[in-house]
Chains A and B, each alone.
Chain A
């Protein structure tokens, strides 16, 4: 079974509007971390935002916020006031960590969502 599911292969948004990129995950662990990365056409992977499973508040970083709904196992990325430079692939990823504070573990990535911002 897929651990990370991103159901939107492609999304369009008008410049200056907000957009939500969906991500659901599957884990039986109590301790885990959720990450979002941006990959422009240049190919670099840029870390955007992180949410820990025990964090009570949704993470925010500038125009990025993570809508974390633990019971639904969803971790959607919200980008506010979209800019042309936001056009890129966006990947949701999860790190499982059965022993909190122990092994760092690797990240498991979804297939990504291609966001296109229209002027």
Chain B
């Protein structure tokens, strides 16, 4: 079956602009996660949804970052007033029950 799909695969934006990153999880997976991975580092947790609600948003670095999952399926990560330090690969994952996380291929965000 289809895996986790993330779009776009690459995004280049100017400092100060607003961006949206989309994640389409595996069908039926109730949990959805966003991570950020900088070069040479492990994935850093941002936010986790159980259904439509954010069960844990403790990893969001500041109020420029926001994520939604209005219908309990597709999620959008929104970044306002982007900064060069936001450049990273943004990974989305989904899981069913207590099973492993299944990751998408990520969106590489470059802020110039």
Contact = CB atoms under 8 A, between A and B. Distances in A.
B25 interface: no
B89 A109 contact: no
B45 A108 contact: yes
B91 interface: yes
Q: State the majority secondary structure of interface residues on B.
A: strand
Interface in A70-103: 91, 93, 95, 97, 101, 103
Contacts of A47: 100-102
Interface residues of B, number: 25
Given A42-B105, A44-B105, 13 more contacts: A35-B101, A43-B89, A43-B106, A44-B103, A50-B100, A91-B43, A93-B42, A104-B97, A104-B98, A106-B33, A107-B43, A107-B45, A111-B41
